[in-house]
Amino acid sequence: MVTELTWQGKYNKDGKKNAPLRIALPFQTIETVNESAQERIRTLDLFAQGKPTEWRNRLIWGDKKYVLPALLPEFAGKINLIYIDPPFDTGADFSFTAKIHPHKTENATSFVKQPSIIEQKAYRDTWGKGLDSYLQWFYETVLLLRELLAEDGSVYVHLDWHVAHYAKCVLDEVFGYENFRNEIVWKRRGGTLNNFKSYGSITDIIFLYVKTDDYIFNPLRTKESEEAQQYIKQRFVYDDGDGRLYSRDPITNPSSSPTPSLIYEYNGYKPPQKGWAFSIETMRKWDRLGKLYFPPDKSKRIRRKTFLDEYEGQPIQNLWTDIYVINSQAHEHVGYATQKPEALLERIIKASSNKGDLVLDCFCGSGTTSAVAEKLGRRWIACDLGRFATHTTRKRLLSNPDVKPFIVQNLGKYERQHWMSSEFTNPQDRISQEKSYRQFILNLYHAEKIDGYTWLHGVKKGRMVHIGSVDAPVALGDVKNIVQELWKKGGNNGLDILGWEFAFELNETARQFAAANNVDLKFKKIPREVLDKRAVDQGDISFFELAALDVSAKVNKKHQRLTLTLNNFIVLPDDVPKNVMQAITHWSQWIDYWAVDFNYHDDTFHNEWQSYRTKKKPEIDLTVAHYYQEKGTYTVVVKVIDLLGNDTTKLLEIIV
359 and 293 both lie in a single domain? no
Cβ contacts of 330 within 8 Å, gap of 6 or more: none
According to DSSP, the β-strands at 149-159 and 221-222 are unpaired
DSSP three-state, residue 446: coil
Segments forming the whole domain that contains residue 109 = 28-222+317-410
DSSP three-state, residue 229: helix
In a domain, 355, yes or no: yes
Confidence of residue 250 (pLDDT cuts 50, 70, 90): very high
pLDDT at residue 47 greater than cutoff 60: no
474 and 535 both lie in a single domain? yes
More confident residue, 432 or 150: 150
Please check whether residue 462 is in contact with residue 450, taking contact to mean a CB–CB distance below 8 angstroms: no
511 and 552 both lie in a single domain? no
| CATH number of the domain enclosing 619 | 2.60.40.10
Helix axes 64-75, 131-148, angle to 10 degrees: 20
| SS3 per residue for 5-74 | CCCCCCECCCCCECCCCCCCCCCEEEEEECCCHHHHHHHHHHHHCCCCCCCCEEEEECCHHHHHHHHHHH
In a domain, 152, yes or no: yes
Which of 245, 276, 310 finishes a domain?
310
More confident residue, 492 or 513: 513
Please check whether residue 236 is in contact with residue 216, taking contact to mean a CB–CB distance below 8 angstroms: no
So what's the pLDDT on residue 237? 96
CA distance 590 to 572: 11
Which of 245, 280, 310 finishes a domain?
310
433 and 569 both lie in a single domain? no
* Average pLDDT of span 466-495: 89
Cβ contacts of 226 within 8 Å, gap of 6 or more: 321, 322
Which of 511, 544, 577 finishes a domain?
544
540 and 554 both lie in a single domain? no
So what's the pLDDT on residue 89? 53
In a domain, 386, yes or no: yes
In a domain, 622, yes or no: yes
* Average pLDDT of span 11-20: 94
In a domain, 418, yes or no: no
Task: Give residue 50's region: left, alpha or beta (phi > 0; psi -120 to 50).
Answer: left
Q: How much is the mean pLDDT over the chain? A: 88
Alpha helices of 269-427 — where are they, by DSSP H?
A: 280-288, 342-352, 368-375, 387-398, 412-423
323 and 271 both lie in a single domain? no
pLDDT at residue 353 greater than cutoff 70: yes
123 and 245 both lie in a single domain? no
pLDDT at residue 97 greater than cutoff 80: no
CA neighbours closer than 13 Å in the CB half-sphere of residue 608: 21
CA distance 188 to 369: 18
| CATH number of the domain enclosing 343 | 3.40.50.150
| % pLDDT > 70, the chain | 88
Confidence of residue 104 (pLDDT cuts 50, 70, 90): low
In a domain, 18, yes or no: no
Cα dihedral sign for 306, 310, 313, 315? negative
What's the domain count of the chain?
A: 4
Range of lowest pLDDT (349-358, 431-440, 443-452, 570-579): 570-579
| CATH number of the domain enclosing 536 | 3.40.1350
In a domain, 335, yes or no: yes
So what's the pLDDT on residue 110? 56
Confidence of residue 363 (pLDDT cuts 50, 70, 90): very high
What predicted TM-score, i.e. pTM, was given to this entire model?
0.86
520 and 628 both lie in a single domain? no
521 and 571 both lie in a single domain? no
CA distances (Å), origin 253, targets 250, 271, 273: 9, 10, 9
More confident residue, 637 or 332: 637
Closest CA relative to residue 103, chosen from 652, 618, 651, 623: 618
| % pLDDT > 90, the chain | 61
DSSP three-state, residue 146: helix
Cβ contacts of 473 within 8 Å, gap of 6 or more: 499, 500, 501, 502, 503, 506
485 and 528 both lie in a single domain? yes
CA distance 77 to 217: 18
531 and 616 both lie in a single domain? no
Please check whether residue 373 is in contact with residue 359, taking contact to mean a CB–CB distance below 8 angstroms: yes
Closest CA relative to residue 458, chosen from 418, 486, 478, 428: 486
143 and 196 both lie in a single domain? yes
CA distances (Å), origin 553, targets 323, 337, 556, 559, 600: 49, 40, 10, 15, 15
More confident residue, 103 or 471: 471
Give the DSSP letter string of 563-582.
EEEEEEEE--GGGS-HHHHH
Residues listed for the chain: 656
In a domain, 1, yes or no: no
